[in-house]
Amino acid sequence: MDSNNLIEGLLQKPLWQMTGEEYCQLTHYALSLSPNTGSSPAPPGQKALGVHALAVELGCSDSTVYALMRTPREEDGSAEGGGILRPAVVSRIGRRIVFDVDTARRLADDYQSSRK
């Protein structure tokens, strides 16, 4: 049985019926199809789920992110809805906030440079 027929057979087989070897073969095949096999920097438009995840991505503490969220925006002087990081907020459901990392980094950098 050639490699293509083996993969086709594995693709038709339910996962719960596969042996460990079959699962590894299928995983290896799927990884070989992936165009991004090497480690690379964060993809564009990367999202951070929560304040802690954003702090990790920005390389700062959670309290720094909270302080940026409480800092009033220059255009309207309001800290409501996320302060200077408000444009970086992608979604807010309850207390869980999803941030666009690139936008948040740009806004934080702009704020820090304006303070100097």
For 34-53, what is each residue's pLDDT tens digit? 555 444 444 557 888 989 99
Contact 88, 103 (CB under 8 A): yes
| Token output for 114 | 């304006």
Residue 39 has a pLDDT of 43
Q: Which stretches within the chain are classed as H helix?
A: 3-12, 20-33, 51-58, 62-70, 101-115
67-91 pLDDT, tens per residue?
988 888 777 666 676 688 888 888 8
Span 8-43, pLDDT tens digits? 888 888 888 889 888 888 888 877 775 554 444 445
Q: What is the pLDDT of residue 41?
A: 47
What local confidence, expressed as pLDDT, does residue 52 receive?
92
Cβ within 8 Å of residue 69, ≥6 positions away: 51, 79, 82, 83, 84, 85
